[in-house]
Amino acid sequence: MNDRVSKAVRSGIMTSVKSKNTGPEVQIRKMLHALGYRYRLHRKELPGSPDIVFPGKRKAIFVHGCFWHGHDCRWGKLPKSNIDYWQSKISDNISRDTRNQAALRLLGWSSLVVWQCELRNSDDLKTKLVRYLTDSEG
């Protein structure tokens, strides 16, 4: 099935998609701040430019949108139009994420992926974040 909108319209839509300071990312930052954690943002010198970085702990958090990073949840489903494009796009994103996390490990960093859908249960997410940040193993 072909795309329902013209290439120009699709280009405008894709251009408007933010990669930094997204809603889910801001929510998680507010949650971490309320828990007493301080952090750095988007460290470009680290592989994948993690969304949230704790340099002293050598820990990084990636906030992934379920659709864009191919999460296996109801919000991670591919659209029904332009299937070949989306499968390739999401597959490339997943491969890049895997490479970036491996490169971080080689540098002695640990990383955590927080999925957008996890924001639906803030108590579980807070527990997950605190456990990750207090675990000395990474």
For the chain, domain boundaries: 19-133
Q: What is the mean pLDDT of the chain?
A: 89
CA–CA dist 82, 85 (Å, integer): 6
3-state DSSP assignment of residue 121: coil
Tens-place pLDDT, residues 73-122: 999 998 888 889 899 999 999 999 999 999 999 999 999 999 999 999 99
Q: Worst-scoring range by mean pLDDT, 29-38, 63-72, 88-97, 129-138?
A: 129-138
Q: Which residues contact 39 (CB under 8 A, 6 or more apart)?
A: 29, 32, 52, 53, 54
Band of residue 15 on the pLDDT scale cut at 50, 70, 90: low
pLDDT of residue 18: 54
Residues 6+ apart with CB under 8 A from 53: 39, 40, 41, 42, 43, 46, 59, 60, 61
pLDDT at 65: 93
Q: What is the mean pLDDT of residues 31-46?
A: 95
Cα–Cα distance measured from residue 53 to residue 63, given in angstroms and rounded to the nearest whole number: 11
- CA dist., res. 107 & res. 33, Å (int): 26
Query: Position 90: which residue type?
Result: I
pTM of the model: 0.84
- Please tell me the CATH superfamily of domain 19-133, with its number: VSR Endonuclease (3.40.960.10)
pLDDT of residue 19: 63
Q: Identify which has the larger pLDDT, 2 or 115.
A: 115
Is 137 a residue whose pLDDT tops 70? no
Average pLDDT over residues 126-137: 91
